Each structure stands twice: as structure tokens, then as C-alpha cells.
Amino acid sequence: MCLEVLVQIGATAPVRVSAKRLGELTGLVVGRTRHNESSALHFSAGGGCSCDLLGKKSDPKFGTWRLNDEHLPKLAAAVRVLGKEAKHFVFLAWWLGGESEPPRRAEHLSAAKLATLVERNTVGNNVVYVVGRGS
């Protein structure tokens, strides 16, 4: 089981932000992957799964993730870039292969609000954050 932090840019987004550019702007490792048969961006601190973004007291049974404080500004910066340029995207942090994760639910919000959730270290476990219209 591994944490995955993913973004899927909406089909109606005015700009496609590349994994390479997001990585350069934020200092995170951003790669391309697939999720639900669609293209997605995958975030990590050093490559591989997103588990290296986790803080010491994270537990997939909790309703929110405890991410490493060192990486919060970087992940929030990625959300801000996506909000400014792509405008429409979906953000998800979930435990791949986890049986104990909470049921998936969607929440519609602005990129600024999502960036604040990241900065405050209150990203929901298995919550699909929908930013903008047409995501």
C-alpha cells in the first residue's frame, strides 16, 4: 500500500501544465501516470510513490493526511500554479490498495482554498477536490 497524491487537469482547462514545469517550479518530483483511465500528474518528494510526503504520524485510518511540514509549501505552490494556469483540475490524496480508507467523496472548492488546506496540513483522505468548472 502506498500514498498517491494525484492531479488530473480538466478537459476544458485553458492550459495544460507539464509535469516537468511543475517540478521545476515547486521542487517536488512530478511525473505522469494514469488514474481511472485518464492522464494524471503524480507528486512525490524524491520519486516513486508519494509516501515520502507523509509525516511521522500519518495513518490511512484518519480522515486527513499528516504530511511532512517540509513539503507543504511545495505542494501548495503546485496547487496555486494549477489554479492560475489550468483553472480546472481534480486533486486526490489516497492510499493505493488501502482497505481501511474512508469512502471517497467529492468537494468543490477554489484553488486558493485547496492551497490553504494543504498549508494547514488538512488534506482529506480519499477526498476528490474539484477545482473550477469542467474538471
Amino acid identity, residue 35? H
- The residue among 58 and 32 whose pLDDT is bigger is 32
**What is the mean predicted confidence (pLDDT) over 36-61?**
90
**Cβ count within 10 A of residue 29:** 17
DSSP H or E segment with residue 79: helix 72-85
Tell me the β-bridge partners of 96. 2
Whole-number pLDDT of residue 135: 47
- The residue among 74 and 37 whose pLDDT is bigger is 74
**Closest C-alpha to 91, from 17, 14, 24:** 17
**Closest C-alpha to 120, from 76, 62, 57:** 76
**Closest C-alpha to 132, from 91, 94, 96:** 91
- The residue among 31 and 98 whose pLDDT is bigger is 31
pLDDT digits (tens, 9 = 90+) for 3-20: 999 999 988 888 889 999
| Inter-residue contact 74 to 26 (CB < 8 Å) | yes
3-class DSSP assignment, residue 68: coil
Whole-number pLDDT of residue 83: 96
Judge whether residue 21 has pLDDT over 90.
Answer: yes
**What is the mean predicted confidence (pLDDT) over 12-40?**
93
**What is the mean predicted confidence (pLDDT) over 87-107?**
84
- The residue among 7 and 60 whose pLDDT is bigger is 7
